[in-house]
Amino acid sequence: MLYEEISNDDNELNKALLPNNNESLYEAISDDDNEPNPALPPNDNDLRVNNHDMKRQLHSRTRSAEARKRRNRKRNLYFRMQSYRYFITRPFYYRFTMKLVRHILPEYNFYYTHVKPVHDLLLIGVKDKIIEQQNERRLLGDIFDRRHYYLFRRQAQYLSRRSNDIQE
């Protein structure tokens, strides 16, 4: 026989153990959830979810739409001012496009942050005073005049014809 027979000793041990009385260890659960506790002061900030009695926020931290517009306008003006803190001006021919200007500046190793036409001037914003001084020397004074416009235009047409010939 492979299995050992169970002895009667186990049954005697179980009978010898005392029955478990957990009732004396725990207190009875009280039924006073709905009764207010007089020792605690009432808290008006609590939300009563079950009865749908929601209290409003005491201090609202959200801005009104008008206040947000004022704040955004003020911040945008400040950031715009900072972006043109250091700038270089050049005379500007009105037929230059911003795309062409942004294409020309890197050809002269000109580092800029913003470019903006103002009437017959071109404002070129740079990051700091050192870059402003370096770029002042790099860029010709009349680079964006009428004569240069037609020169760049002819150069762009030549390059586009050349690229079309290569593709064919």
Q: What is the pLDDT of residue 72?
A: 95
User: What is d(CA 120, CA 70) in angstroms, rounded to the nearest whole number?
Assistant: 32
Decide: 84 and 125 in contact? Cβ < 8 Å: yes
Q: What is the pLDDT of residue 61?
A: 72
Q: What is the pLDDT of residue 74?
A: 95
For the entire predicted model, the pTM comes to 0.50
User: What is d(CA 145, CA 8) in angstroms, rounded to the nearest whole number?
Assistant: 114
User: For the range 132-137, what are the long-range contacts, defined as Cβ-Cβ under 8 Å and sequence gap of 24 or more?
Assistant: 132/86, 132/87, 132/88, 135/88, 135/110, 135/111, 136/88
Q: What is the pLDDT of residue 80?
A: 82
Task: Output the six-digit token pair for 124.
Answer: 């070129």
Low-confidence ranges of the chain (pLDDT < 50): none
